[in-house]
Amino acid sequence: MIIFDPHIHMTSRTTDDYAAMRAAGVRALVEPAFWLGQPRTSAASFTDYFDGLIGWEPFRASQFGIRHHCAIALNPKEANDPRCAQVLDLLPRYLVKDGVVAVGEIGYDSMTPAEDSAFARQLELAINAQLPALVHTPHRDKLAGTLRSLAVIGESGIDPGQVVLDHLNELTVEPVRDSGCWLGFSIYPDTKMDPGRMVALLRRYGTRQIMVNSAADWGKSDPLATRRTGEAMLATGFSQDDVDQVLWRNPAAFFGQSGRLDLSDAGTGPAATFEDNSILRGTPAASAV
C-alpha cells in the first residue's frame, strides 16, 4: 500500500526517517510551515525557512523516492511576536510557487487578538490564491478553539471544502464534520490521538473527508504513525480500499484542489506489505536534524 502523509515536518527529521518512511510505503507528503521551537527574531529568518521548504527539502525527499509538497504561512504561535508581523507581507510571493499546495499552518495557539488578525488575513490570502487552508486547532481549550476557528472560517467566506482542521479529537469531530470542513487527526505517541482511538472514530464516522497524519516534528513523534494506523485499521476489519481512501485518496483529493499536486510516479516502486513489520522495529520516536 502507499501512503500520503498530509502533515509532517521533515525539516526536523533525519535521512534515516526518509528511508524508513519510503520502506513503510510513504510516497508523498505535505510539510506545513510551523514553529521551530526556538523563536525567530525577524521576518528575514522566515524567508530562509520558506526557501528551504520549496527548494532544499523537496530535493532531499526526492532522493528517497518521496514527493514533497508544502504549505506556507505565519504559524499561530509566532503570530503573537511583533518582530514577525512583516511575514504576512511576504506570503503572496510564496503562495504562487510550485509545490505550495496550501496556506498553513494557520489558526490558533492561545486565541489572542494578534492570532485573530493573522488567521483572518491568511484565510483571505488562501481565497485570493485559490489554495486550500490547513488550520491548527489549539492544544489548550481545544473545543473552544475549534468552535472559534469554525466561526472565523465561516466569516471569511472560504469554501469549507477547502479547509482542513487538524489535531482534532473526540470532542471536536462533530462540529467540524457538520461544518463541511475536512477533518485532520495527528497520531502521536503520548498526546493528540493514537491508532486505536483513530480506528474507533473511523468506525463511528466513516472514512469520508478524514485525513490521518503523523505531524512528526522535533518533539517526541513517529514518522511511521500513518502506517501504524493503517495496520490498526486492517486488524479491526477495515478493507484495503478503506485504508487507501484514508491514507492516500483523501489527502490527494484535498490538496489536489490547489492544482499543484504532483503525484507522478509516486505510487511506483516497492512498498512494504503489512506482513513485513521489520521496518517498524527500532525506529526512533524522534530525531534531530
Instruction: Please provide residue 58's backbone torsions phi and psi, each rounded to the nearest 5 degrees.
Output: -60, -35
What is the model's pLDDT at position 41? 87
Task: Summarize pLDDT for 183-223 with one digit per residue, the tens.
Answer: 999 998 776 799 999 999 999 999 999 999 998 887 888 99
Residues forming a β-bridge with 210 = 183
**DSSP codes joined into one string, 25-67:** TEEEEEEE----SSPP-SHHHHHHHHHHHHTHHHHHHHTTT-E
The rounded distance, in Å, linking the Cα atoms of 43 and 86 is 6
What is the model's pLDDT at position 267? 59
User: CB-side exposure of 283: number of CA atoms within 13 Å?
Assistant: 28
Q: Which three cell numbers stand for residue 100?
A: 505550495
What is the model's pLDDT at position 278? 40
Question: Structure pTM?
Answer: 0.91
**DSSP reduced 3-state for 210:** strand
Closest-CA residue to 213 (of 1, 11, 29, 16): 29
Helix (H) or strand (E) holding 102: strand 100-107
What is the model's pLDDT at position 283? 41
Beta carbons of 69 and 255 less than 8 angstroms apart: yes
Beta carbons of 214 and 186 less than 8 angstroms apart: yes
Closest-CA residue to 146 (of 181, 114, 113): 181
CATH number assigned to the domain covering 3-262: 3.20.20.140
Q: Where are the domains positioned within the chain?
A: 3-262
Instruction: Please state, as a whole number, how many other Cβ atoms lie within 10 Å of the Cβ of residue 77.
Output: 18
Beta carbons of 126 and 96 less than 8 angstroms apart: no
Those residues with Cβ within 8 angstroms of residue 269's Cβ, 6 or more apart along the chain or in another chain: 65
What is the model's pLDDT at position 284? 38
The rounded distance, in Å, linking the Cα atoms of 217 and 7 is 10
User: For every one of its 289 residues, what pLDDT tens digit does the chain have, with 9 covering 90 and above?
Assistant: 899 999 999 999 999 999 999 999 999 999 999 988 888 989 999 999 999 999 999 999 999 999 999 999 999 999 999 999 899 999 999 999 999 999 999 999 999 999 999 999 999 999 999 999 999 999 888 999 999 999 999 999 999 999 999 999 999 999 999 999 999 999 987 767 999 999 999 999 999 999 999 988 878 889 999 999 999 999 999 999 999 999 999 999 999 999 999 998 775 444 433 333 444 434 433 333 3
